[in-house]
């Protein structure tokens, strides 16, 4: 695709994951490149969310290997994925309704104060987290009535915006988005797409799970199709029609996967 | 103040008001009610108010611990039995090993029971409700065997001063302990990462796990906190009566749960209030005291308390659902 063949952000090879007798992922290969948005498509139960959870360290894959920036790594926990620069917005958003926006944004990467003893005890630096939250939300153009509101008091779109903000605010390079614009109003969905395009412009490698073919043609460079846990197609979005993509998803059409 | 600032303040108050303040309103209401109804029975006398404070102290200490267990969406039904066992252990250990070592041993045993609760609940995947129901039976049995249902007198003056009838100036040591536990609990809940993680795990365990929070560790430590508080409460009960006995604090479980839930802690996790738990404990102690002053027989007290607890918890849970 690129003549200079720069090192891939994330390379996944032969990823397998079974739940008892069900093969959720069957030797799936996928590559994410910097400055590119890759769509991950497939019907319900095709294995899309399972794939994201394996790369995000939520599930431990049964087999397969991953390289980040060309270096072989193993991702065993959400922390190790984050340490490698992989951020995820899960389908469920993984926001805590009873905590406020700043607390959600910094959950499990809290700033502490009081030196080494404070760090050991985990004494929160709330002031710093609040001001950084304001900064982050402002930069992303996310408007929240008050940072002290519990997450549960916000609208669906605001919650989604915070979840996406949490994944994209850290200058991270690899971002996995599991249906980030599902259940959003038109304006909010457009806002999310804008965020994704900003990420690409900033050079990030983005994986986008969606069921919306319009969104694929609007923001994605490549599309990978999963069907019953297997990769059945990988195409440049510009080379195919929406109908082609739907045909791949439903299995009406399959593609010889090139190595 | 600008118009928008006023609106902001109002919004914030509306958001916070119902569940957070219902317990304080209840405390004032019940105090006022008893002050009028029981004015001839000496409800508002210095000695009776002191009495209420003394009754509230062990409830409040246990309630603070329980707020963490409930906040993490766990529950600890063994706290009454842990308190009872601790009263016996401390009576024995202080006599044998002295003040500091005796207290340390007792607290360690209490926390050990909490750790066992937590590890079984988390690693064997049994709901803490069932695990702690089991340890409740085991610990009660051990406490009964320990000294053949006899009470053990405590003769260590330091202990009786620090945990019982003693005082610092005019302030009773029981009150001091309650304040210490309340402040430590409040700070741990609001100012420490651990406190936020307890609530995150209690609100949505899988979301917390997806963010890399070590949910097992958080749940186990929440149950250790509740057992540690129960152990301390047992030591306070022992100090107040200058004895250890197999049933001290054993019947406080329901009272403690009611105090915590009335105080605004969600019975199903994700939200907790330490200050509310203490206020709830005062409410429960006032109710206890008022029912006795009304001259109700023990049997009728039990019935009245049961009805009041169900009503109070039902009311505060309705508030919680609405917000």
Classify residue B11: in a domain, yes or no. Answer: no
Q: How far apart are CA A154 and CA B255, in angstroms?
A: 35
User: Which tens digit of pLDDT belongs to each residue from A6-38?
Assistant: 778 999 999 999 998 889 999 999 999 999 999
DSSP state of B124: S
The answer to whether residue B125 scores a pLDDT higher than 90 is yes
B283 in reach of chain A (CB within 8 A): no
Q: Which residues of chain A are within 8 Å of residue B18 when distances are taken between CB atoms?
A: none
The answer to whether residue B319 scores a pLDDT higher than 60 is no
The domain that contains B38 carries what CATH number?
Answer: 1.10.3470
Nearest CA in chain A to B8: A146
Strand order through the sheet with A71-73: A22-32, A10-19, A63-68, A71-73
Closest chain B C-alpha to A20 CA, distance in angstroms = 19
Q: Please say whether the beta carbons of A155 and A145 come within 8 A.
A: no
How distant is the alpha carbon of residue A253 from its chain centre? 27
The answer to whether residue A1 scores a pLDDT higher than 50 is no
The position carrying tokens 């604090």 is B249
| pLDDT score at B306 | 86
- Contacts for B108 with CB less than 8 Å, ≥ 6 apart: none
- Contacts for A79 with CB less than 8 Å, ≥ 6 apart: A57, A108, B212
Q: Which residues of chain A are within 8 Å of residue B207 when distances are taken between CB atoms?
A: 90, 92-96
Higher pLDDT, A41 or B26: A41
Q: Is the pTM of this model over 0.90?
A: no
Q: Which of B8, B203, B212 sits opposite A97 (nearest CB)?
A: B203
Q: Which residues of chain A are within 8 Å of residue B194 when distances are taken between CB atoms?
A: 122
Q: Which residues of B56-70 are buried (b: 16+ CB within 10 A; e: fewer)?
A: bbbbbbbbbbbbbbb
The answer to whether residue B13 scores a pLDDT higher than 90 is no
How is chain A split into domains, by residue range?
10-87+174-179+205-250
Three-state helix/strand/coil letters over B162-205: HHCCCEECCEEHHHHHHHHHHHHHHHHHHHEHHHHHHHHHHHCH
Share of chain A above pLDDT 90, in %: 47
Q: Which of A108, A145, A150 sits opposite B211 (nearest CB)?
A: A108
Q: How far apart are CA B214 and CA B216, in angstroms?
A: 6
Residue B293, token pair as written in the block: 């002053």
Average pLDDT, chain A: 87
Long-range Cβ pairs for the range B138-144 (8 Å, 24+)? B139/B78, B139/B81, B139/B82, B139/B84, B139/B85, B139/B113, B140/B81, B140/B84, B140/B85, B140/B246, B140/B250, B142/B85, B143/B81, B143/B84, B143/B85, B143/B88, B143/B246, B143/B247, B144/B246
Domain range enclosing B200: 20-322
Q: Is the dihedral of CA B156, B158, B161, B162 positive or negative?
A: negative
| Mean pLDDT value of segment B216-245 | 97
Lowest model confidence (mean pLDDT) among A12-16, A181-185, B34-38, B228-232: A181-185
Give kind and range of the element (H or E) at residue A26. strand A22-32
Average pLDDT, chain B: 91
Classify residue B135: in a domain, yes or no. Answer: yes
Q: Are the Cβ atoms of B193 and A122 closer than 8 angstroms?
A: yes
Query: What is the full DSSP assignment across A173-200?
Result: SEEEEESTTTT--HHHHHHHHHHHHHHH
Count of CB atoms situated within 10 Å of the CB of B233: 33
Q: Please say whether the beta carbons of A14 and A63 come within 8 A.
A: yes
The answer to whether residue B183 scores a pLDDT higher than 90 is yes
Classify residue B13: in a domain, yes or no. Answer: no
Q: Which residues of chain A are within 8 Å of residue B196 when distances are taken between CB atoms?
A: 99, 103, 107, 110, 124
Q: What are the backbone angles phi and psi of residue B121, rounded to the nearest 5°?
A: -60, -40
The answer to whether residue B15 scores a pLDDT higher than 90 is no
Closest chain A C-alpha to B321 CA, distance in angstroms = 12
Classify residue B8: in a domain, yes or no. Answer: no
Share of chain A above pLDDT 70, in %: 94
Q: Which residues of chain A are within 8 Å of residue B70 when distances are taken between CB atoms?
A: none
Q: Are the Cβ atoms of B192 and A96 closer than 8 angstroms?
A: no
Lowest model confidence (mean pLDDT) among A55-69, A193-207, A222-236: A193-207
Residue A116, token pair as written in the block: 């080494």
| Mean pLDDT value of segment B211-240 | 97
Closest chain B C-alpha to A85 CA, distance in angstroms = 14
Closest chain A C-alpha to B173 CA, distance in angstroms = 28
Q: How far apart are CA B74 and CA B198, in angstroms?
A: 10
| pLDDT score at B323 | 44
| pLDDT score at A2 | 46
Q: How far apart are CA A19 and CA A45, in angstroms?
A: 12
| pLDDT score at A255 | 75
Classify residue B181: in a domain, yes or no. Answer: yes
Query: What is the full DSSP assignment across A226-252?
Result: EETTEEEEEEEGGGS-HHHHHHHHHTS
Q: How far apart are CA A151 and CA B189, in angstroms?
A: 18
Q: Which residues of A19-33 are buried (b: 16+ CB within 10 A; e: fewer)?
A: eeeeebbbebebbbb
Lowest model confidence (mean pLDDT) among A250-259, B214-223, B281-290, B304-313: A250-259
User: Which tens digit of pLDDT belongs to each residue from B296-305?
Assistant: 888 988 898 7
A205-209 and A36-41 as β-strands: parallel, antiparallel, unpaired?
Answer: parallel
Q: How far apart are CA B78 and CA B230, in angstroms?
A: 9
Assign residue B109 a region (left: φ > 0; alpha: ψ between -120 and 50; beta: otherwise). alpha
Contacting A residues, span 142-171, partner chain B, CB-CB under 8 Å: 145-146, 148-150, 153
Residue A70, token pair as written in the block: 């060309």
Q: What's the ipTM?
A: 0.83
| pLDDT score at A191 | 79
Q: Which of A88, A126, A149 sits opposite B15 (nearest CB)?
A: A149
Q: Is the dihedral of CA B225, B231, B236, B237 positive or negative?
A: positive
User: Which tens digit of pLDDT belongs to each residue from A44-85?
Assistant: 889 999 999 999 999 999 999 999 998 999 898 998 998 898
Nearest CA in chain A to B266: A98
A179 in reach of chain B (CB within 8 A): no
Q: Name the CATH superfamily for A10-87+174-179+205-250.
A: P-loop containing nucleotide triphosphate hydrolases (3.40.50.300)
The answer to whether residue B313 scores a pLDDT higher than 60 is yes
């Amino acid at each position: 695709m690129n003549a200079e063949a720069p090192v891939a952000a994330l390379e996944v090879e032969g990823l397998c994951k079974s739940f008892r007798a069900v093969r959720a992922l069957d030797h799936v290969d996928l590559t994410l490149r910097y400055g590119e948005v890759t769509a991950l498509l497939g019907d319900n139960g095709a294995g899309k969310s399972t794939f994201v959870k394996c790369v995000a360290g939520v599930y431990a894959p049964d087999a397969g290997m991953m390289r980040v920036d060309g270096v072989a790594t193993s991702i065993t926990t959400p922390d190790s994925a984050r340490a490698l620069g992989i951020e995820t917005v899960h389908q469920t958003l993984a926001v805590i309704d009873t905590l406020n926006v700043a607390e959600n944004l910094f959950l499990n990467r809290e700033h502490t104060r009081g030196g080494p003893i404070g760090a050991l005890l985990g004494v929160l630096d709330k002031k710093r987290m609040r001001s950084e939250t304001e900064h982050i939300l402002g930069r992303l153009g996310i408007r929240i009535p008050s940072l002290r509101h519990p997450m549960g008091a916000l609208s669906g779109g605001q919650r989604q915006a915070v979840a996406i903000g949490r994944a994209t605010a850290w200058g991270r390079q690899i971002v996995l988005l599991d249906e980030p614009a599902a259940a959003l109003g038109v304006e909010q969905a457009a806002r999310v797409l804008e965020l994704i395009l900003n990420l690409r412009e900033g050079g990030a490698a983005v994986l986008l799970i969606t069921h919306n073919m319009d969104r694929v043609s609007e923001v994605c460079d490549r599309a990978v199709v999963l069907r019953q846990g297997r990769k059945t197609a990988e195409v440049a979005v510009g080379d195919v029609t929406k109908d082609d993509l739907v045909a791949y998803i439903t299995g009406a059409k399959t593609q010889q996967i090139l190595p | 103040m600008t118009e928008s600032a006023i609106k902001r303040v109002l919004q914030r108050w509306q958001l916070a008001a119902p569940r957070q303040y219902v317990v304080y309103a209840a405390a004032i209401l019940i105090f006022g009610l008893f002050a009028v109804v029981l004015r001839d029975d000496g409800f508002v006398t210095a000695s009776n108010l002191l009495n209420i404070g003394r009754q509230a102290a062990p409830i409040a200490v246990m309630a603070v611990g329980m707020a963490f267990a409930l906040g993490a969406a766990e529950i600890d039904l063994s706290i009454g039995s842990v308190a009872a066992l601790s009263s016996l252990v401390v009576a024995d250990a202080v006599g044998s090993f002295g003040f500091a070592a005796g207290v340390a041993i007792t607290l360690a045993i209490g926390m050990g029971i909490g750790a066992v609760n937590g590890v079984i609940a988390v690693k064997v995947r049994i709901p803490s409700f069932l695990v702690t129901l089991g340890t409740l039976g085991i610990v009660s049995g051990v406490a009964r065997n320990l000294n053949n249902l006899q009470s053990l007198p405590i003769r260590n003056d330091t202990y009786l001063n620090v945990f019982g009838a003693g005082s610092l100036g005019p302030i009773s040591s029981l009150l001091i302990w309650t304040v210490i536990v309340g402040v430590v609990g409040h700070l741990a809940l609001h100012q420490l990462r651990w406190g936020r993680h307890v609530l995150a795990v209690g609100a949505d365990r899988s979301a917390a796990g997806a963010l890399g929070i070590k949910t097992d560790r958080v749940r186990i430590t929440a149950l250790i906190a509740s057992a540690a508080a129960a152990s301390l409460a047992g030591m306070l009960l022992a100090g107040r009566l200058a004895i250890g006995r197999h049933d001290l604090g054993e019947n406080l479980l329901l009272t403690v749960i009611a105090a915590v839930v009335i105080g605004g802690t969600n019975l199903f996790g994700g939200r907790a209030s330490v200050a509310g738990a203490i206020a709830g404990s005062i409410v429960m102690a006032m109710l206890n005291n008022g029912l006795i002053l009304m001259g109700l027989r023990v049997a009728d007290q039990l019935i009245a308390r049961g009805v009041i607890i169900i009503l109070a918890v039902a009311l505060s849970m309705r508030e919680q659902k609405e917000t």
